[in-house]
Amino acid sequence: MLSELWNQLTASFFEPKSNKEKPPIIYSILKQTKLIELTESRAIVECENPGVKIFLDKKISDIESRFFLLVKKKIKIEFVVAEKKIKKNPPLFTYQPKTEDLLIKSGLSVKYSFDNFAVSSTNQVAYAAAQAVVKNPGKSYNPLFLYGGVGVGKTHLAQAIGRKILENDPKRKVFFCPGDLFINELIESIQEKTAQKFRKKYRHLDVLIVDDIQFIAGKERVQEDFFHTFNSIVSAGGQIILTSDRPPNEIKKLEDRLRSRFLGGLTVDIQPPDFELKTAILLIKAREKGILIDIEAAKVIADQITDCRALEGTLLTIYANFFVKERKEKIDLSMVEEYFSNQQKTNQKKISPDDVLKTVCSYYNLKPTQIKSPARVSNFVFPRQLIMYILREHLKIKQEEIARFLKRKDHTTIIHGVEKIRQIILKNPLVKEEVDNIIKNIFSST
């Protein structure tokens, strides 16, 4: 009865008009859930992991509205994470390798799983594809090609797939390999004349995950060997998962036959994390570390920190400042505001807006008057937006003050400029490196 009712609710999200129409992400994710309890006023729905729960919690109003149409009652829906089942009365004298041992042997990290992967609109397609691969390795999407900028979760998701496949079947041969490791091991096998050993290691895998596959581009011998490795695994029914900072058709010096293979499966773009995703990631990190934090405090940190990888560092720094020194029990809004206020004062003591303007102008061979002019010449736009970004993100200066300093009409121009630079540095590693060098010059010169 409960399952039939929940199936009807799930089906309401996907009513295809043709066989070619693909289901929305919420439909695919709801199919992974289970209605386990229903009372006059409350429904309990079980999710596979916290990532699914976080995603569905954001859609709760739509789900409850559709449920109301089915049962004709106002029911509050609560999503809960399913408890991991423990097998009863295991047989004596059987050996089951530890998950940690299997992960290490497979080159996987114990810290990456679906349980701590937060889902939002920026990565929901990639998440759904990953779940499909786990259920049918070698059949659903082969290869699965995930691409995006630094810190968007490509490695996390790719490793989570490998981990789940191993948990489902510990006998499967899974291996996670950074692109440069594949190159180095191939070179070593050539030098030491152990090519047969190298091929045996890679070509008989059930699942091969290569992180940053773009590194093999331009290396003729490496691409030759990877082409044959790819074919051997796929033809034997194995699964290939690849990650990159760009899609296959934008990887220069990649052989056409490899490009064709990469495009033969599913290519998914993972966008930079939005505010909601950063907040969810922060809450997951806090739970993992045993740190209590108010939701409003987490929102402020997510708003202030653009780099996902810096979220955990900021969380631990605030924890150290207030918990270790002052014995506080929970990170609240006042603590976070005090932390960023102190950061701003420290930065302002070291650097002034004029210091930033002078350094950026020197780097791009421009004059301050050109930056502050109303002209929208292409040579001026990026440096001007970069100054906005540094003043806002690193000096924490208010948008209105930045607008006055750069002689812009209003603060909306600053918001646009800062967001533009955020997106560029997340998607383009070369630009990020350039920006990092400029920021380093600013701080080192004061």
Residue 286 region by backbone torsions, left for phi larger than 0, else alpha for psi between -120 and 50, else beta: alpha
Measured CA distances, 68 to 3, 41, 56, 74 (Å): 16, 11, 17, 6
Taking only the tens place, the pLDDT of each residue in 323-362 is 666 666 788 898 888 888 877 666 555 678 999 999 999 8
Enter the CATH code of domain 99-269: 3.40.50.300
Residue 264 confidence (pLDDT): 92
Structure tokens at 133: 């691969």
Enter the CATH code of domain 2-81: 3.30.300.180
What value does the mean pLDDT take over residues 25-32?
84
pTM of the predicted structure, to 2 decimals: 0.63
Cis before 247? omega within 30: no
Report the amino acid identity of residue 236.
A
Q: Which fold has domain 353-444?
A: Chromosomal Replication Initiator Protein Dnaa; Chain: A; (1.10.1750)
Mean of the per-residue pLDDT values of the chain: 86
What value does the mean pLDDT take over residues 273-281?
87
Residue 290 confidence (pLDDT): 86
Band of residue 88 on the pLDDT scale cut at 50, 70, 90 = low
Residue 242 confidence (pLDDT): 96
Give Cα 421 to chain centroid, integer Å.
19
What value does the mean pLDDT take over residues 367-393?
89
The answer to whether residue 137 scores a pLDDT higher than 90 is yes
Taking only the tens place, the pLDDT of each residue in 196-236 is 999 999 999 999 999 999 999 999 999 999 999 999 999 99
Phi, psi of 421 (to 5 degrees): -65, -40
Residue 89 confidence (pLDDT): 57
The answer to whether residue 11 scores a pLDDT higher than 80 is yes
CB–CB of 174/162 below 8 Å? yes
The answer to whether residue 268 scores a pLDDT higher than 90 is yes
Structure tokens at 99: 């998950």
What value does the mean pLDDT take over residues 413-421?
89
Residue 407 region by backbone torsions, left for phi larger than 0, else alpha for psi between -120 and 50, else beta: left
How far is the C-alpha of 243 from the C-alpha of 262, rounded, in Å?
11
Residue with tokens 């924490």: 396
Task: Break the chain into its structural domains and give their ranges.
Answer: 2-81, 99-269, 286-346, 353-444
User: Of 201, 263, 261, 196, whose CA–CA distance to 234 is shortest?
Assistant: 261
Measured CA distances, 259 to 184, 267, 399 (Å): 22, 12, 44
Phi, psi of 359 (to 5 degrees): -70, -45
The answer to whether residue 319 scores a pLDDT higher than 70 is yes
Adjacent-strand bridge partners of 266:
144
How far is the C-alpha of 136 from the C-alpha of 164, rounded, in Å?
12
Residue 347 confidence (pLDDT): 56
Q: Which residues, 6+ apart, have CB-to-CB distance to 291 below 8 Å? A: 315, 319, 323, 331
Residue 423 confidence (pLDDT): 86
Percent of the chain with pLDDT over 90: 38
Band of residue 445 on the pLDDT scale cut at 50, 70, 90 = low
CB–CB of 260/294 below 8 Å? no
Give Cα 430 to chain centroid, integer Å.
19
The answer to whether residue 37 scores a pLDDT higher than 70 is yes
The answer to whether residue 91 scores a pLDDT higher than 60 is no
Residue with tokens 């907040």: 279
Residue 85 confidence (pLDDT): 60
